[in-house]
Structure 1
């Protein structure tokens, strides 16, 4: 398929795109004329949402922690579209069932790091030659939890902290042809519309943010889209926090 015939001629690969922030990023890029390849472990939902997004969306199943699947997926993208201009590493395991340090299972720890940290490395490794060919860009989805934590979140925090370090390391290794940046979302209401309607956020939820509201997937998607654009050509190796100001808010119990 000729990507130029379907939009602005640029092709983006977005991982973990069957729902939430990843889906929001994919939809935003498609609205700007990108051809977007969505990947996810959830084949049924991924196929469904890609059909809803239209002709500029294409879905493939991928476990980003499996190098064979990553290599095969990238080869499929190149076979289908002949080029790759952007990589958005959003796929992550974010299990809300926090484990105490004493009960933290090594297999669980390793799976979190495999998906959240090794996955972006593997994708960068296999996408790099094609991104270089077109002056492409990578955006890694980190988290404000890379710099601040709740109790019992060691695996997730460590994976996102490592991702920030990986981001600036990749920027040095892949520049100047490829720019690499990270976006760290705070509280983003990434639930499906039905869930948001059934259990809306409270005024207190919104008011605690200096920006006056909880974030949306569109807030993150807009930042990602800018970082992938030509306008961000002098920006690489950086972290961009999208959290409504919460990480700058001094909080003490009175």
Structure 2
């Protein structure tokens, strides 16, 4: 039987690209997201129209917030009941801080915001993994966990403390999990760079910074679609040694490789998928 993938944050962005990519290759996929509108659009409109009839029954879905223990437990059980197993967990769900987007320095940011980002991104990865482990351990040939980090774990602009801490934590967590869960489960992290997935979201852009600053408690991330890879300028493409910014499929291919193709002798590592951008030395003009 084709492997079963459980994906968090699958309603938009890299998660949605990956779900479609895997389904097109005959795998079975269980999609989850905390955003009802994104998940509904992906599972009732986008995938049915994008997939061949032969793959239409290969996906199921459930609303799931990675900070909600009961929802996580229910979604994992639903996936196992629907497909009979879970072979691969993709911990993709993640949020960023509204304060970062608004350019606000950390001494003016409530600690609760920092804690919330870590709860979703880092603790959420831990929580979902906990519930999936008993099923992954039974997967023939060994289960696989792929955690989505970010180039921001090691590179940073201003005001990204919460997001960076969460992603650096994911890379450390991946290493620790690989030692604890082997040999039954292999654990990997992927660190994407600039990836343009605007076409995978319902909306086109966040509001401007002044609008965000007017209501920092509002969840703009759920209402709007951040412009990942914002500005498809030739200069941005040229700044990457490979000659372009990333696409969602670039990440999805790595997920498939680490989950299926890789021969079983790799675990605990973080794989940078950034078109070589982090390897360039650039000084201000």
TM normalised by structure 2 equals 0.82
Match of 1:210 in 2: 241
**Aligned residue in 2 for 1:59:** 61
How many Å separate the matches in 1 of 2:257 and 2:122? 23
Residue 158 of structure 1 is matched in structure 2 by: 165
Aligned-residue RMSD, C-alpha: 1.6
Gaps of 5+ in 1: none
Trace 1:184-199 onto structure 2 (pairs within 5 A): 184-192=191-199, 195=204
> Partner residue of 1:143?
150
- Write the mapping of 1:158-177 to structure 2, written as runs, cut at 5 A: 158-177=165-184
Secondary structure in 1 matching 2:26? coil
DSSP-derived class of the 2:155 partner? coil
Listed as ranges, the gaps of 5+ residues in structure 2 are 48-55, 205-226
CA drift at 1:101 = 1.2
Post-superposition Cα deviations, 1:166-191, rounded to whole Å, max 9, x if no partner, equal 00111111111100000000000011
**Which region of structure 1 is more displaced relative to structure 2, 64-73 or 130-139?**
64-73
In 2, Cα distance between equivalents of 1:41 and 1:239:
26
Aligned ranges 1:23-62 → 2 under 5 Å: 23-51=16-44, 52-53=46-47, 54-62=56-64
Contact 1:43 1:60 in 2 (8 A): no
Deviates more, 1:224-233 or 1:158-167: 224-233
User: Which residue in 1 is equivalent to 2:133?
Assistant: 128
Contact 1:171 1:178 in 2 (8 A): yes
Instruction: Give the secondary-structure state (helix, strand or coil) at the position aligned to 1:125.
Output: helix
| TM-score normalised per structure 1 | 0.92
Aligned residues, how many? 245
